[in-house]
Amino acid sequence: MRLKMSLKLNNNDLICVKFNYNQEIINKIRLIPGSRWNPAQKYWTFNNDKAKLALFIEMFKDEYLIFESEIKNFAAADAITDYLNYYYLPQFEKKLKLKGYSQSTIKVYINHNKNFISYLKKDLFSITMNDLNDYILYLIDEKENTHSFANQFISAFKTFNNLILGLENVNRKLFRPKKKKKLPKVLNKREVKDIINSVYNLKHQLILIITYSAGLRVSEVVKLKISDIDSERMLIYIRNSKGDKDRYTLLSQSALTKLKLYLKAFQVQKYDKQWLFPGQNKDRHLSKRSAQKVFKKACHKAGINKKVGIHSLRHSFATHLLEQGVDLRYIQNLLGHKSSTTTEIYTHVSNKSLTRIINPFDKL
């Protein structure tokens, strides 16, 4: 069981360490140069020196260290921050895995809290609402992040607080910045065709074709396996997508024709563990970053100047289905949206109804 050790600074700039009697700990603390026992106050002291404090933290990093004075006033604030990352974040990661969070969400939540700890330089159990609000304003105003990014941090911290810190009333009082309502960036059919036709590498072209024709996220297309392609039912099986959900989506006949050429050209064998789009290391799938680069390069070659990313192919798929008269509920299922409200945003970018409106200028 970990021993609780509290550290604070006194008026003489000495670090005062208190803990319940433990001879092994006492023997260790005596190794710190200049350490002294104060019988009146019943605590150990040593100079607020960077090297000494770093040595102390290294010695006792597996104990429960509480910093009662502001961390920025300690000589080795960076070492304290490293300790907080060393102990609490691995615990957090472990609990997220046990809770069944996806690997991408775990990575995002760990990074958000790591950055917050580095910014805060304060004992985590003394966090106030002002600390959190100041950090959120720092993300938006100074770092110029979006409100969505700030909201992502809030979700990450709330989960960290629920699973690790247990600070009362903080989660309830923490309010989110209002999201800016941005419409998805959509390509028209000619632009999609031009982008795909600008790519001559068969593998790269197929990545873009399947992303558009199946309405996939980039994280989904790069993780496809050959066994996920059901050519008899003309469906693609998407496993462990956002929200840890599985679903089926459409397999285009034209995409299937191109897929057969790809499998033959690359002599890919059909077995369950084979990635459809392997990376340089054949045991691993292509990275999301590589797929994004393929799309960016294709846009440049096709002369598409819109500020779009590969995710725009998914937006375009949904919008074009809506314009063809496909029911919104079917589109929701194909995209794997939890709420129909998320899918309804495509009604704002679809020209299905807008094209029926006669412009008054044409009637002048």
Residues annotated as catalytic are 217, 242, 311, 314, 337, 346
Q: How many CA atoms lie within 13 A of 162 on its CB side?
A: 13
Q: How many CA atoms lie within 13 A of 127 on its CB side?
A: 26
Distances (CA, A) of 85 to 80, 117, 123, 342: 9, 7, 12, 36
Question: CB–CB of 203/276 below 8 Å?
Answer: no
**How would you classify the pairing of strands 14-18 and 43-47?**
antiparallel
- Give the C-alpha separation, 215 to 342, whole Å: 14
Distances (CA, A) of 83 to 56, 122, 194, 237: 11, 12, 53, 43
- Give the C-alpha separation, 266 to 32, whole Å: 63
